[in-house]
Structure 1
């Protein structure tokens, strides 16, 4: 029998200065993943509350007294020798001047530059949670095109900023025209837009593509250049690993709860979602019977947010 991996609960902080920059610390030589950048913090010790652990770690590591704020995300991540849970909090404030008291280099980084810094796997979903939307709208099958486009516009007007244009019952010239109009509306609203499955049309329109799970095994490499979103629908650990190997920017994993669109399919539940989440470092959305009311629970299990059709589509 294999020895169970040790479990570690790590607390980390998003520390933001008045200019909106975020503090990163570089892992010192002799540690795992030396040289990579991470959000400051450290291991929770027995008997400590999460908040007490983070206050202590920031005092020892940076020499500041911290006021712990709201939760950001709780990322389960499996490494070869351990299972880690990275519990990340905002700081409501602090006193003192952050300095590397353990010999670590520090850097104040603009929010849009965070992705340039090489980080441990568990920190990648944290960056996505800070940078990108926590809601991902998947469009339903169109009935009448004008009515469908009007509903999409209402969703954008309500604040949706990431959209998967999915209309698998529509093809040919109608699909090209509908997708083109949807892309125009999303761009005008400043929303990320990805086309479901249609790599060629996505290339033609200069937008992202959302890969179906069946496409993952057929592709030998990332189908879009950097700067054009590539996402994937995943249901298994193999799907997630393939999506990560292809260089996908994020995944959608489910179903978390039973859904009408997948009758009879066994749901993952939140424990099952977290168990698959820890296998890869991909940012991901949870899907399956979810709504914006589930975002907090999704983030407690390592999701960036929720993806949905019915609960996000205006009536």
Structure 2
């Protein structure tokens, strides 16, 4: 097994983006009866040889994604498959091409999977997928399989701490499993108390908590840290140990590449749509999001005027999911 470098260097193209060839690839998430996921190793003589990937291949002219995936899995593995739901569609820029990796869950399959083209195969328990060295386009696929699709950003608590905590508890009961604790301008003593109680609620619910900006609070309570974009370019080393989550807000390609170089575990990119909290700011839209997504292999949440109904479109443009305040914060 090859151990994946957790935060590879940003990809850059020697040629203008518009001159790069576009490659459409489709891949499948194939599970066995024990829930393990099949990976194939890229053979010698191919680019990125030796790395592990989700099995699949390129479209042929006039071929649908479903037909291409069924054909490729038969040719490569000798199995017949029933194509299931879409998981994520990852746009990724390499030095010589722009790739879109369309990943589907395989609902059922028949036969004995074997490497018919000489490629090594391995069945991997899902939680061990991050330890396999993969091409950049496959890394967001692992995140889509293992990490939450929703990232709640808390609003300020106003005058009622108990109401705010009750709303957080309801959000957790609704299924939120990743939370950024954020309350700009709040008194430090009051905020420390709220972070302590909120972190405890998240732990009880099996959810991940990150605190905005304050590395000392993150370390004190053993939770993650979420950095604003301006902090990314001022830091030369990861401000938390690897065991604690590190995330960042990003507004463009330079921010995303700085987040990846710093060792962030994921990023938030926006604003996608105009929002009341950013009056007069035009959103980047999904096309703009996907173009920026190409530059890194981090899991990235889209933010700005989004709610859970946008998850499908977010995944179709390479997002881990959506981050939101209003779209995920319940009213009590």
TM-score by length of 1: 0.98
Is 2:62 aligned against 1:47? yes
Q: Give the aligned CA root-mean-square deviation in angstroms.
A: 1.0
1:28 aligns with 2:43: yes
Equivalent residues, number: 315
Tell me which residue corresponds to 1:101: 116
> Alignment partner of 1:225: what SS?
coil
The CA deviation at 1:266 is: 2.1
Residue matched to 1:4: 19
Residue deviations 1:96-126, cap 9 Å, x none?
A: 1100001110000000000000000001100
Residue in 1 aligned with 2:107? 92
CA shift digits 1:26-70 (9 cap, x unpaired): 011111111110000001111100001001100110011111110
| Residue of 192, 199, 218 corresponding to 2:208 | 192
**What is the aligned counterpart of 2:169 among 153, 156, 160?**
153
Q: Secondary structure at the match of 1:257?
A: coil
How far residue 175 of structure 1 moved from its aligned partner, in angstroms, is 1.1
What secondary structure does 2:19 align onto? coil
| TM norm structure 2 | 0.94
Displacement after TM superposition at 1:11 (Å): 0.4
Residue 293 of structure 2 is aligned to residue 277 of structure 1? yes
Higher mean Cα deviation, 3-12 or 291-300?
Answer: 3-12
- Among residues 57, 61, 68, which one is paired with 2:76 in the alignment? 61
Q: 1:289 — aligned with what? A: 305
Cα distance in 1, alignment partners of residues 173 and 80 from structure 2: 41
Matches within 5 A, 1:292-303: 292-303=308-319
Aligned mate of 1:128, from 143, 151, 158: 143
2:322 is paired with a residue of what secondary structure? strand
Taking the aligned partners of 2:156 and 2:279, their CA distance within structure 1 comes to 18
Deviating 4+ runs (over 2 angstroms): none
Q: What is the alpha-carbon distance in structure 1 between the residues aligned to residue 187 and residue 23 of structure 2? A: 50
Deviation at 1:168, TM superposition (A): 1.0
1:157 is displaced (CA, Å) by 1.2
Structure 2, unaligned runs of 5 or more? 1-14
Q: Deviations over 1:211-262 (max 9, x none)?
A: 1111101111111111210010000111000000001010000111001111
Structure-2 separation of matches of 1:148 and 1:113:
36
